[in-house]
Every structure is written in structure tokens, then in C-alpha cells.
């Protein structure tokens, strides 16, 4: 794993995906990844909207020191873990804007063959988790990236809700349990293993 460079990029309004991202970083370090970065997607919502939600406002303040993701992070890494909540079964506008800025890297072929996996959350069990991850992966297909999903390659995925496209959780910190953490750990390690195999074949 020493040649794998992983960036974990998340967007979170109230902290769920921030926690998933932190667990992903921990899992990568435990797996012996060469280098890992944690980055957040820039918050673009109006301050007025954030101020109306105490949890959102608190989370923005608590994570003010987390570095924002840049195109340099994408170019640097050879593996990505993305985590973002669902918005009406789709990606949040903040995360979509970040992806929309990757045209220069895409057109120069610098996103091809990157190894990618995604995680998400929603307000309820059928709130769009699967469609959000599929929406994320459509962009990855355009990049020519290699999408790695957990599928049902480990029993822990069933215990964590059974989403084969990636870890997903119902919003609410009481849902961030040991089964979810174990599923994140499995998904990250699987992603890193595939990335390591690709690097070694180059």
C-alpha cells in the first residue's frame, strides 16, 4: 500500500459525512496506505440558510480548520473516497460544483484510471442513498476512473444496511454505529487493495 496516495473528500452540513470521512482516513492508515489527505468541499450555501439551522451552523464552525479540496488534491492522489449526503436523491449542489470544476483535469486525461469509491447519507432509509451514489459514479465513468464498490464482498455490508454501491447511513448520529464503521473500513480497504494492484501493474 505504500505507493497508494488517497484523498478522502467529503461534504457535510451537520456532520454525518464528516464522520464517515474521518473513519475512512483511520481505515486507510490502519491498512498502511502511503499517504492520505482529508479534505472538505467548500461550503457555498448562503450564510442566512446556515444560520437558520443550529446543527449546520455548529458543524461549519467545528470544521473551519479542515482544508478545502482543490484540483491539486485530485491530481496528486491515485485513489479517492468521496462522501456526501443526498439531496432529493442526487448530490448536493456544493459537491456537484466541485465536480464541475474538474474539466481541465478531465480534458488532459489526469482523472483517468483513478480508483474511486463513494459513501452517502439521507434523512430516512429510502431517501435516495443508492441514486445519489449512482449519480456520483456517472461522473466517474466520464472521467475514465475505476469505480470500486463494496458489493456484498463481506458480511458486514448486510449488517450496515446492505447497500452494494457504497456505505450509506440514515442521518442522525445515533445511526453512526460500529456496524457502519466496520463497513467503512471494509470499503476503504477494498478500494485501496484495487488501487495497489493497478499501481503495481503500471
CATH code for the domain in which residue 39 is found = 3.40.50.360
Could you tell me whether strands 115-122 and 168-170 are parallel, antiparallel, or unpaired per DSSP bridges? parallel
pLDDT of the residue at 125: 83
pLDDT of the residue at 110: 98
pLDDT of the residue at 100: 97
Residue 36 and residue 25 in contact, taking contact as beta carbons nearer than 8 Å = yes
pTM (predicted TM-score): 0.96
The number of distinct structural domains making up the chain is: 1
pLDDT of the residue at 107: 97
CA distances in angstroms from 152 to 27, 73, 190, listed in the order given: 19, 30, 12
> Over the chain, what is the mean pLDDT?
95
pLDDT of the residue at 115: 98
CA atoms of 157 and 161, how far apart (whole Å): 7
Residue-number span of the structural domain to which 51 is assigned = 5-201
pLDDT of the residue at 201: 84
pLDDT of the residue at 160: 93
pLDDT surpasses 70 at 173? no
* Residue 30 neighbours by CB under 8 Å, 6+ apart: 185
Could you tell me whether strands 5-10 and 168-170 are parallel, antiparallel, or unpaired per DSSP bridges? unpaired
pLDDT one-digit tens code per residue, 16-33? 999 999 999 999 999 999
Amino acid at each position: 500500500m505504500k505507493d497508494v496516495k488517497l484523498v478522502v473528500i467529503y461534504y457535510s452540513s451537520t456532520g454525518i459525512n464528516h464522520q464517515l470521512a474521518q473513519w475512512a482516513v483511520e481505515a486507510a492508515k490502519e491498512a498502511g496506505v502511503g499517504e492520505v489527505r482529508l479534505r472538505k468541499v467548500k461550503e457555498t450555501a448562503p450564510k442566512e440558510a446556515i444560520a437558520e439551522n443550529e446543527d449546520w451552523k455548529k458543524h461549519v464552525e467545528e470544521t473551519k480548520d479542515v482544508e478545502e479540496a482543490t484540483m491539486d488534491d485530485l491530481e496528486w492522489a491515485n485513489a479517492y473516497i468521496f462522501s456526501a449526503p443526498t439531496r432529493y436523491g442526487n448530490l448536493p449542489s456544493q459537491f456537484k460544483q466541485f465536480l464541475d470544476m474538474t474539466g481541465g483535469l478531465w480534458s488532459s486525461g489526469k482523472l483517468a484510471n483513478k480508483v474511486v469509491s463513494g459513501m452517502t447519507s439521507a434523512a430516512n432509509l429510502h431517501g435516495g442513498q443508492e441514486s445519489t451514489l449512482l449519480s456520483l459514479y456517472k461522473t466517474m465513468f466520464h472521467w475514465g476512473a475505476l469505480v470500486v464498490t463494496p458489493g456484498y464482498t463481506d458480511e458486514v455490508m448486510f449488517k450496515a444496511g446492505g447497500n452494494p454501491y457504497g456505505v450509506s447511513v440514515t442521518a442522525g448520529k445515533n445511526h453512526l454505529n460500529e456496524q457502519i464503521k466496520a463497513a467503512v473500513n471494509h470499503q476503504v480497504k477494498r478500494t485501496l487493495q484495487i488501487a495497489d494492484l493497478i499501481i503495481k501493474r503500471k
